[in-house]
C-alpha cells in the first residue's frame, strides 16, 4: 500500500468514563497495520448531551488523506457511526477495486502467454 493511501479495516467504541455528567468515549479506527488509531473523542457537555470532535493525532496522521481538519465536530453518535462506517467502507471498496485490477492484469498476462505459446 502506498504512503498516501491508508486502509481502515474496522472501528470500535471505547468508554473511558461512565461517570454521570462527565462521560467520555473514544472511537478508534484499525488501520491496515492492525493498529488502532484514536480518531474521535466524545465528551458529555451537559446531562445526556455528547460533543464529538476529531482527535488531533488523527488529523496529523491522516487528515489530508481523508479530508478532515482539526476541530471537525459531529452533532450525534449516529453521525459519528456513519462517518466511521464510511471510512471502513471506502477502504474496502478501494481494496476491492485494486484486487479486481490486479486480477484483470493477471488474466491479461495469462491470455497473452497462452497466445504466445500456441503461436510458436
Q: What is the per-residue pLDDT across 43-95, written as a single tens digit (0 to 9) for each?
A: 999 888 999 999 999 999 998 888 889 999 999 999 999 999 999 976 555 44
Domains of the chain by residue range: 8-92
pTM of the model: 0.70
Query: Order of strands across the sheet with 8-17?
Result: 8-17, 24-31, 36-46, 49-54, 73-74
Amino acid at each position: 500500500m502506498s504512503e498516501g493511501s491508508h486502509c481502515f479495516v474496522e472501528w470500535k467504541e471505547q468508554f473511558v468514563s461512565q461517570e454521570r455528567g462527565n462521560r467520555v468515549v473514544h472511537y478508534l479506527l484499525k488501520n491496515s497495520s492492525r493498529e488502532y488509531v484514536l480518531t474521535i473523542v466524545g465528551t458529555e457537555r451537559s446531562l445526556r448531551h455528547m460533543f464529538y470532535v476529531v482527535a488531533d493525532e488523527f488529523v496529523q496522521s491522516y487528515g489530508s488523506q481523508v479530508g478532515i481538519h482539526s476541530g471537525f465536530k459531529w452533532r450525534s453518535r449516529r453521525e459519528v457511526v456513519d462517518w466511521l462506517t464510511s471510512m471502513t467502507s471506502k477502504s474496502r471498496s478501494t481494496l476491492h477495486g485494486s484486487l479486481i485490477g490486479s486480477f484483470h492484469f493477471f488474466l491479461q498476462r495469462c491470455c497473452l502467454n497462452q497466445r504466445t505459446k500456441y503461436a510458436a
